[in-house]
Amino acid sequence: MGRTSAMILVMGSFRLPAANFDKALPMMAKVIAATRAEDGCILYAYSRDVADPEVIRVSEKWRDRAALDAHFKTAHMAAWAQERAELGLSDRDIRIFETDEGIPV
């Protein structure tokens, strides 16, 4: 059996003022589409919390840490960082987990 690389899961949330949600939708759609096209991205999703519509849940799955590290350096993530500051995002809590489910390399 060959060597395996640990898959990376990213889970978290951030708060987005309800008044800015409609303005944020096209920005979020743009960063989601660009990220999903990245090498190593298995899942990248945002979802609005039903119990608290100002909370956006973040779910990501990456082939390995190198793919996630490359993601942080993309132009679309730099643009999203600027846009989210303008939207009043707060309480950002994002955690990175290495899974014990390996992907053959």
Q: Look up the pTM and report it.
A: 0.87
**Residue 91 zone, left/alpha/beta (φ > 0; ψ -120 to 50; rest):** left
11-48 per-position pLDDT tens digit: 999 999 999 999 999 999 999 999 999 999 999 999 99
CA distance 72 to 20: 24
**Cβ pair 9, 99 in contact under 8 A:** yes
Residue 72 host element (H or E): helix 65-72
CA distance 4 to 13: 29
Tokens of 97: 């987990």
